[in-house]
Chain A
Amino acid sequence: MSQTTPRCLSPTSQASGGLLKMLATQIRTEFLSNWRVPEFLIGVAAIPVMLFMMFGLPNARVTFPDGTTVGALMMASFSAYGLLSLVIFSFGVDIANERGRGWLRLVRATPMPGWTYFVGKLAMSLLFASLILLVLFAAAALFAGVRLPPMRWLATFGTLLVGGLSLSTLGFALGYLARPRAASTLGNLIYLPLSFASGFFFPLGQLPEFLRTLAPYLPTYHYGRLVWGAVGSPEAVGLFTGLAPTEPWLHTLWLAGSFVVFGALALWGYRRDQGQEGV
């Protein structure tokens, strides 16, 4: 078993660039293949900005005692919404489609280690997420007069990205568990109600009682709480959301927990897809 036939290389054969080259090529290819699809860019970047302009501008300049404006908090809400939709579509729906078309099967027959594919998707999503946030932040500053201290801008940006990353396993789970043709519908069924019930469209205080009771069980609600907390003081967030103040570590714990739970689900689906269970 240990002996094997010698390689039969062509006269023109070249050594490949190694692991770093592979990662760089994977990320570059992922980015390009999405960047060239205008519908994707519009879906993930233009819609959050558009929604912010529609829902976020009317009361944007209402200011809380600590100086935080409603506009700044709405900007945070729609950023969270934007990253959630990116996670659901670029991980969930994309992966399901690539599975459905048979593309992943061909890729699986290559020596590429499976994690390279995920790193490519994550890196591409981080790039697009940054782009979405920069555009939204710029729109908020320009049209809603949002001004924050530099540290607050950075904290908001960082919380959005890291929190969004923690939701990535939700997308991966969708990508591997949904039937490819149902993925897009399922994606919409997941991220729209989640956004609404987590208070991304309207502050939770304005939503019906049962949604306010339900919200603390949604990972996206905890994502929202952390992001709002990065923008303004607990008092301002309390006045904006109409909710009692809470401990940030609780929300962090929730996000970490959902990352693990959905990660396990995604892994199970991934294994099943690999045919490792004899399917």
Chain B
Amino acid sequence: MNIVEMEQVTKRYGPTLALAEVSLSVAPGEIISVLGPNGAGKTTAIAIMLGLRQPSSGRATLFGQPPQSRCARARVGVMLQESGVPGSLTVSELISLFQSYYPHTLPLAEVLARADLSSKRHALISNLSGGQKQRLYFALALAGDPDLLFLDEPTVAMDVELRRTFWAQVQEFAALGKTILFSTHYLNEADAIATRIVVINRGRIIAEGTPRTIKSLVAEKTVRLNTDAPLERLQGYPSVQRAEQRNSHLFIYTNEPEACLAQLFREGWRVSELTVAETDLEAAFMSLTGQEVQA
């Protein structure tokens, strides 16, 4: 029995189509990543699964019930984007308030420890740093010992180090048998912890599968360079997924940029103006849907 169910959900904001006939099921114990560029419809999808917004057509259920039902919400923990917390409360006061909302709770000390906030328990929220506030939102999401955790772009304001610890904390919680659904626009985050990735772009699910499947479709890195090596030669490299000439540069999409570059140098090709970057998801998804990539 699935615990999240979206059937043919369409959502319009006036003339804008935010979601187009999206169907998605989540089984207990899964760690689902909803991956897509900004404005793809991730936040809208989560809001509908949570009953915070009504679909224009289609249906969403949580634990087999309407998402607004108190029974369903009692089993869900949520981290949304931009939830301005009341600044004049302390960390533990606010967590206690959230604990009182749920029929079951985790002990306060455990919530604090899981979100790495034990040393800040008496701090006023207005005195927390940006990263500490994100951890507080995580703590609020854990307060009710939820079966299912929704995290809407949780790491958007975090630096690399914070991200790493944050995902470790999420995984620790998942290890209790919990189900996690998170949205991100970083393929490497989705890849690192998800059991299944759902790629969404312009309101549509354009790919779905294990991290391995998705990575074979969308290369993680983009190598941009000038070289005298012919395009056809590069396209033949085992490490290269796709290569193309765009303007004055050559663009190589790959999951193993090191191997690709090593082969280039080993064969003695000239390389200049080299950059290696995370693949721009927008561009990658466009190519997935077969749409024209605009340089």
Contact = CB atoms under 8 A, between A and B. Distances in A.
Given A103-B85, A110-B98, A8 B80 contact: no
Contact of B78 (A15, A26, A109): A109
Contact of B52 (A1, A13, A14, A275): A275
Contacts of B144: 110-111
A12 B63 CA distance: 23
A17 interface: yes
A22 B144 CA distance: 13
Given A102-B84, A103-B85, A110-B73, A13 B104 contact: yes
B104 A113 contact: no
Contacts of A34: 88
B30 interface: no
Given A105-B83, A106-B83, A106-B140, A14 B107 contact: yes
Nearest to A107: B101
A188 interface: no
Contacts, number: 130
Interface in B21-49: 28
B53 A110 contact: no
A213 interface: no
A7 B75 contact: yes
A4 B105 contact: no
Interface string A108-124: 11111100000000000
B102 interface: yes
B100 A7 contact: no
A7 B73 CA distance: 12
Interface string A93-106: 00000101111011
B97 interface: yes
A10 interface: yes
Contacts of B1: 3-5
Interface string A253-279: 000000000000000000000011111
A25 B100 contact: yes
Contacts of B94: 29
A268 B53 CA distance: 16
A231 to B, nearest CB: 36
Interface string B47-81: 00010111010000001110000110111101011
Given A7-B75, A10-B176, A278-B56, A109 B80 contact: yes
Contact of A4 (B64, B78, B179): B64
Contacts of A112: 101
Contacts of B179: 8
B178 to A, nearest CB: 6
A9 B104 contact: yes
B83 A101 contact: yes
Contact of A14 (B96, B106, B140): B106
A103 B136 CA distance: 13
A29 B93 contact: yes
Contact of B73 (A12, A109, A277): A109
A32 interface: yes
Contacts of A279: 53-54
A278 B86 CA distance: 28
Q: Which of A10, A33, A277, A278 has the most CB of B within 10 A?
A: A10
Contacts of B76: 109
18 contacts: A4-B63, A5-B63, A5-B64, A13-B145, A16-B99, A25-B100, A29-B97, A36-B89, A101-B82, A103-B84, A105-B80, A109-B80, A110-B144, A111-B74, A111-B103, A111-B144, A275-B54, A279-B54
The 9 closest A-B pairs by CB, nearest first: A101-B84, A106-B83, A25-B100, A36-B88, A112-B101, A111-B74, A111-B73, A22-B100, A109-B78
Interface of A: 1-5, 7-17, 21-22, 25-26, 29, 32-34, 36-37, 98, 100-103, 105-106, 108-113, 275-279
